[in-house]
């Protein structure tokens, strides 16, 4: 069964460093998403991406964040200068069909020291 995959599963970085989180969405999906979940808190929307551009973004998704679909299969989230409060699980998701069924990847645990 097709699934969303994410790498790495765990990323540890120093404050101020750049990180790139990678995702391979389900191959025939058209909408792509990043969400994050701080430990013990709810899943929060960051950004959606459709037709090679951002379609929606939340207040969390500031200038330090960017997304890219560089090669038609990968979907990446870049954080330019990480902060301690960026420590969270980051989930990629892709949209399956017209009724907004989003399928989530297993997540990348980002730890900023």
Q: Which is nearer to other proteins, 50 or 81 (CB)?
A: 50
Query: Min. distance of Cβ 82 from other proteins in angstroms?
Result: 20
Instruction: Name the one range near other proteins by CB under 8 A: 14-22, 54-62, 67-75, 78-86.
Output: 54-62
The only residue of 29, 87, 105, 110 in contact with other proteins, by rule CB under 8 A: 105
41 binds other proteins (CB under 8 A): yes
45 binds other proteins (CB under 8 A): yes
61 binds other proteins (CB under 8 A): no
Please say whether the beta carbons of 94 and 31 come within 8 A: yes
CB atoms within 10 A of CB 9: 9
Query: Min. distance of Cβ 16 from other proteins in angstroms?
Result: 26
Q: How many residues bind other proteins (CB under 8 A)?
A: 29
26 binds other proteins (CB under 8 A): no
């Amino acid at each position: 069964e097709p699934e969303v995959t994410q790498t790495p599963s765990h990323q540890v970085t120093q404050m101020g460093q750049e990180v790139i989180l990678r995702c391979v969405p389900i191959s025939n999906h058209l909408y792509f998403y990043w969400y994050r979940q701080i430990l013990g808190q709810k899943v929060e929307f960051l950004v959606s991406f459709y037709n090679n551009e951002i379609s929606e973004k939340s207040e969390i998704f500031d200038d330090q964040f960017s997304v890219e679909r560089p090669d038609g299969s990968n979907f990446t989230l870049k954080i330019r200068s990480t902060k301690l409060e960026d420590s969270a699980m980051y989930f990629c998701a892709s949209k399956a069909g017209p009724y907004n069924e989003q399928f989530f990847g297993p997540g990348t645990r980002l730890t900023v020291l």
